[in-house]
Each structure stands twice: as C-alpha cells, then as structure tokens.
Amino acid sequence: MLLVFRLSSRIPLPYSPKVLEIFRNPRNLGPLEDANVVEMAGSPACGDMIRLYLKIVHRDDGDYIEKASFESYGCAANIAAASILTDMIIGKKVEDAWKISWKQISDELGGLPPIKYHCSILAVGALKRGIRAYYKQIGYNPPWLPKDLTVEERQVLEEEEMMERYYKAMKALGGGSR
C-alpha cells in the first residue's frame, strides 16, 4: 500500500465572512419542481457533489435561466459556491451564464482559499453540463456553445474518473471497500 498525497497550498487562508454567511443561510436550496434540467457534478467518493436544477425558458431575444436551485454535498465552501452560482445565474441569458468562470465565483465569495478552488470549479462544471444537457434535450446547437469540453468540465470529469479508477484498482487488489 502506497500513501500518495496531493499537497496543496500551505497558506492557511480562512473562509471569508461571505462564505460563512451563505453557509448559514443558503439561498435557492432544494429541488425545483418545474425544472427542465437537473444535472450533477462530482461524487460522494470525491467528497463533493453538486446537483443543479434549472428552468430554462425561450424568449424572443434568446434563452433565459428563469429559475435555478441547488443541492450540495461537500464542505462549507462547496455549499456557498453552489448557492452563489444560482444567485448569479437566475434571470441571466443562458449564453451569459455560460461565460461565468470559476474565478468569478471565487471572487464573488470574497476569495476562496486556493485549496477550495475546486469547489467553484465544480459549481461551474455542473452549470456547463446543465446548459449542454438543455440544448441536447431540445436538439439545438447554439453557435456560441463550444464543441470541446471547457477547462472546468474537464477537471470535474477527471476528478470523477480518478475515483472510479481508484475503486477499480482497489477491487482488483481485493480491498478498499466492504
């Protein structure tokens, strides 16, 4: 058995009051009954998972995110990132919501500690998956939607696949899970 640790930033950056405030009173929490997109990113094994509910509507001047809500399994930053993302996208044009970066989420939260960047990456990854799922559903490919996966989507996928590989390897060794 080998112990491998991914060492990260040693700077003990604390949470911002904003993260704590949203963690205390998350907004847009829970399932959305009239959602037309429900998308997930992450997994329990990774230690963080976000489920995003979107209601996307078509108007004359484009597609809009009319409603959004979330559920989050993860640390305080993960909960705050998912919550603030829903706040940021409600009422936005889908095309504009697509452009939101993980850095914007981190900034909006008063600056996440580097070790928690992946929380905002996961939130953006879930949103991008949701948007793709919507257009797949209606069978339309907007010109602004890139064919290739974005950095955030790739990173989320990598994290999920890494855990799958880990469990496959452990299973092959005859251990790891009961």
Partner 1 sequence: MSIAQKVRELLKSHGTPSKEVYFDLENSGFVPQEVVEAMMPYFNRIGYGHPSITHKPGWEALEVVYETKELLGKTIGASDPDEIVFTHSGTEANNLAILGYLLKNRGRKGKVVVSSIEHLSVIFPAQFASELFGFKTVLVPVDSEGFVDPELFKLYVDKETVFVSIQMVNHEIGTIQKLKELIDIAKSANPDIVFHTDAVDAYGWIPIDVKKLGVDMLTISSHKIHGPRGVGALYIRKGVEVEPPIKGQLSVEKNWPGVENVPLIAGFKKAIEIMFSNFDYRVEYVRKLRDKLIKGITSSVPHTIINGPLNEYRVANNVNVSFLFIEGEALTVELSLHGVYVSSGSACSSRVLEPSHVLLAIGRKHEEAHGSILFKLSHYHREEDIDYALEVIPKAVERLRKISAWKQ
Binding residues with partner 1: total (CB under 8 A): 51
Please tell me whether residue 114 binds partner 1 under the rule CB under 8 A: no
Catalytic residue list contains 119: yes
Say which of 50, 81, 119, 156 is annotated catalytic.
119
* 148 φ/ψ sector (left φ>0, alpha ψ -120 to 50, else beta): beta
- Among the listed ranges 12-20, 58-66, 98-106, 149-157, the one in contact with partner 1 (CB under 8 A) is 12-20
CB-CB contact of 71 with 31 (8 Å)? yes
Neighbours of 109 (CB within 10 A): 23
Window 142-171: residues binding partner 1 (CB under 8 A):
163, 166
Q: Which residues, 6+ apart, have CB-to-CB distance to 94 below 8 Å?
A: 56, 62, 63, 64, 65, 131, 134, 142
Site string for partner 1, 20-59 (x = CB under 8 A): xx-xx-x--xx---------x-xxxxxxxxxx--------
Q: Smallest distance from the beta carbon of 171 to partner 1, in angstroms?
A: 12
Q: Give the span between the Cα atoms of 161 and 43, in whole angstroms.
A: 10
Residue 103 Cβ, how far from partner 1 at the closest point, in Å? 18
Q: Which H or E run includes 43?
A: strand 37-43
Question: What's the alpha-carbon Rg for the chain, to the nearest Å?
Answer: 17
79 phi and psi angles, rounded to 5 deg? -65, -45
Q: Segment near partner 1 (CB under 8 A), from 57-65, 67-75, 93-101, 142-150?
A: 67-75
- List residues bridging with 72 in a β-sheet: 50
CB closer to partner 1, 62 vs 175: 175
CB of 41 to partner 1, least distance (A): 9
List of residues contacting partner 1 (CB under 8 A): 1, 3-8, 10-17, 20-21, 23-24, 26, 29-30, 40, 42-51, 70-79, 115-116, 163, 166, 175-178
